[in-house]
Amino acid sequence: METQESKPDSAQFSHSDENPSATILKHLKRIEDSHAFCNSTRAKEFLSYVVEHGLGGHNDLLKERSIGVNLFHRSPTYVTSDDPIVRVKAADVRRRLAQYYAEEEHVPEVRIDIPVGTYIPKFQWQHLVPSAPLAPVETSALEVDAPQSKRQARRIWGDRHNTVARSTKISVRGILGARVHKWTARADLPRYPGELCRQFSSLYQT
């Protein structure tokens, strides 16, 4: 059985208006009034017993036999292995504490636990340090200019594409115009429209 010291360490306590013991007892009252404990008088009595004696440093009263005698009115000579009342109730209180903290919406200043293997409570102080404002995030010039560079690249590519298309269209028109002019200048120009169409179609086959 562990015999660790359970007195709260005032050096770890950051509240300026209350001493550690007062804060722990106030938190104990909130636990006892909570949904997890309100329907079990024995669970509240067990938790109150170990917390108050833990704050007082009375570790000799936090042994299984001492708890059985003082809290559950067992005989000083009772056999703990035959009567597990203390172990059973301690397990029940640990379960209820876990339920309480799981349902708690706000982080308390102190957390009360009863570690497995001992009945000496453990007080864990929650250091609530206000979060510092987030520093502005600097975005690199490369990240800022990336979309602009993409738009610029698309614009340049489009301009080049349009220029090539216009040049190709002009070239095709020039070639067709030259061939038509050459063909119409021939001396053997056909007199009939059908013959004219057949000869004009031959320009696209050469």
26 and 107 inside one domain = yes
Q: Is residue 2 part of a domain?
A: no
Domain boundary among 95, 125, 155: 125
Domain final position from 75, 90, 125: 125
pTM above 0.75, yes or no: no
Q: What pLDDT score was predicted for residue 106?
A: 84
- Provide the number of structural domains found in the chain: 2
The answer to whether residues 27 and 108 belong to one domain is yes
Structural domain of residue 169, as residue ranges? 142-204
Residue-level pLDDT at 107 = 86
pLDDT (0 to 100) of residue 162 = 59
**Claim to verify: residue 36 and residue 80 sit in the same structural domain:** yes
Residue 130 forms part of a structural domain: no
Question: Has residue 189 been placed in a domain?
Answer: yes
Residues 153 and 119 placed together within one structural domain of the fold: no
Instruction: Flag whether 132 is in a domain.
Output: no
- Establish if 76 belongs to a structural domain: yes
Asked if 17 and 52 sit in the same domain, the reply is yes
Final residue in a domain of this structure, among 93, 125, 157:
125
Residue 4 lies in a domain: no
Together in a domain, 120 and 21: yes
Give yes or no: residues 148 and 199 share one domain. Answer: yes
**DSSP symbols for the chain:** ---------GGG---SSS-HHHHHHHHHHHHHTSTTTTT-HHHHHHHHHHHHHHHTT-GGGGSHHHHHHHTT---TT--TTT--HHHHHHHHHHHHHHHHHHH-SS--SEEEE--TT--S-EEEE---PPPPPPPPPPPPHHHHHHHHHHHHHHHHHHHHHHHHHHHHHHHHHHHHHHHHHHHHT-TT--SSHHHHHHHHHGGGT-
Looking at the fold, whether 73 and 168 belong to one and the same domain comes out as: no
Shared domain for 156 and 115, answered yes or no, is no
Regions in the chain scoring below 50 on pLDDT: 1-5, 9-16, 129-147, 172, 176, 180, 183, 187, 206
| Residue 101 included in any domain | yes
What pLDDT does 173 receive? 57
